Amino acid sequence: MESEPRPTRATIILSIGMALSGTAGLFSVSSGQPTFNVVFFRCVFGALALIGWVSLRSGWKSLFSIERRLWPLVLISGICLVLNWLSLFEAFHRTSIGFATIIYHLQPFWIVLAGGLLLKEALSRHKIGWICLAFLGLIITILPKIGNMQTDRNWLIGVGLALVASLFYAATTLTTRAIKGVNPDVLSAVHCLIGCIAFLPFLNTAALETDSAGMWGWLVGLGIIHTGIVYVLLYTAYPKVQTAVIAAAAFLNPVVALLSDFLVFGRSITVLQAVGLGLILLAGLGVNLGWPFCFGKPHDSSRCSRRPSRNSADS
């Protein structure tokens, strides 16, 4: 019998990047800072890390290579990205890291729906089927909390914020697709700079008056690890691996988020919620790989599958 092929170096790099991205919520919550402060410093330290990487790789002048006509789209995509972070990090505080992360993974369906409704892209019955399954999973996930929603409005707001974050992510992806000829690491560095400017007026300096060195460790880590190292790992791996590998590796993000939530904060989910969250992830895999839904003849997945966006692990 032939031995199974070993994971390639690119696959290992991709897996490390996806797993690391799943710990973003842990760093955010553990910093103990207000959400605006967390996002601001993620942008600051992320910008420093990415600018350093871009300068070493292609020279600092490449940061000024974006054409003037593209700047409106760059600004819109950057604002959507940092608002996505803001909504998601606040959702972590109001629900839980693992729960918010998987609700956030409704993002591919907004992209498919927007592509069909706004860009007139083909919206097959198979895609519609997976979308319906995902939202069925969302309903099942929320069901155990329906009785407590009147008294636990904070949790309901958190679910809403996770959904809003997924919408902003979809908007970022769609606008970024229209930006041609710009290296993704350059674009990400510019996005972080946009975030620094946008959130500076909302910085809560009083919350920073603490003797906790750990606070700065979490904030620096969130910027350098999750916005610098993770992005570089993903950008390096994406062109070298197949779509199926990217879609499969994306599962590491919510799995690590759930594990960190349980091991560090002792938060777990019910069996019914696990079923609902599993349906969301399964539907996302089906959409990304162009799988046929449970009815009709199998179709050629190469025609309708799409490579996940380069921000697919961004959280």
For the chain of 315 residues, list the mean pLDDT of each consecutive stretch of 10: 58 90 94 95 96 87 85 94 96 89 83 74 78 83 64 82 93 87 90 96 90 85 94 86 75 85 83 83 77 60 44 54
Q: Which residue has the tokens 């009709």?
A: 296
Q: How far apart are alpha carbons 193 and 183 in whole angstroms?
A: 16
Asked if 160 contacts 7 with a C-beta cutoff of 8 angstroms, the reply is no
For residue 84, what are its two tokens? 């996505």
Angstrom distance (rounded) from CA 94 to CA 186:
33
Distance CA 11, CA 27 (A): 25
| Residue 80 maps to a domain | yes
* 200, part of any domain: yes
Check residue 302 and give its pLDDT: 41
Residue 235 domain-assigned (yes or no): yes
CB-hemisphere CA count at 13 Å for 169?
28
- Confirm whether 310 is domain-assigned: no
53 in a structural domain: yes
Show the domain range for 277: 9-304
User: pTM for this structure?
Assistant: 0.83
Residue 2 lies in a domain: no
Work out how many domains the chain is built from and give that number.
Answer: 1
Residue 296, by phi and psi: left (phi above 0), alpha (psi -120 to 50) or beta?
left
Query: Does any domain span residue 35?
Result: yes
- Residue 279 belongs to some domain of the structure: yes
